[in-house]
């Protein structure tokens, strides 16, 4: 029996978020050889640093909707 792409997506969407994220990661690794560990670690460090700046009150976060609107305006130029 062949499973369709839509069935796969539906089944994965029913899984808990952490499990579905692992499914995606495993597919990427199998198809594309995985992630560059150095790049992944750099992004983790950057994200952690930015969160700490927000928590410490050093910077103010931008609401997601504002960020998306700004990106859309930039891309439509």
pLDDT in tens, 5-27: 999 999 999 999 999 999 998 99
CA–CA dist 24, 12 (Å, integer): 9
Helix (H, G, I), strand (E, B) or coil at 11: helix
Question: Side-chain half-sphere of 46: how many Cα atoms within 13 Å?
Answer: 6
Whether the pLDDT of residue 36 is over 90: the answer is no
Q: Confidence band (pLDDT; 50, 70, 90) for 37?
A: confident
CB 23 within 8 A of CB 12: yes
């Amino acid at each position: 029996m062949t499973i369709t792409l839509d069935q796969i997506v539906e089944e994965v969407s029913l899984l808990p978020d952490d499990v579905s994220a692992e499914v995606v990661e495993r597919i990427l690794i199998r198809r594309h050889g995985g992630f560059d560990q150095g790049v992944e670690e750099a992004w983790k460090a950057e994200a952690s640093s930015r969160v700490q700046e927000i928590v410490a009150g050093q910077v103010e976060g931008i609401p997601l909707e504002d960020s998306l609107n700004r990106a859309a305006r930039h891309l439509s130029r």
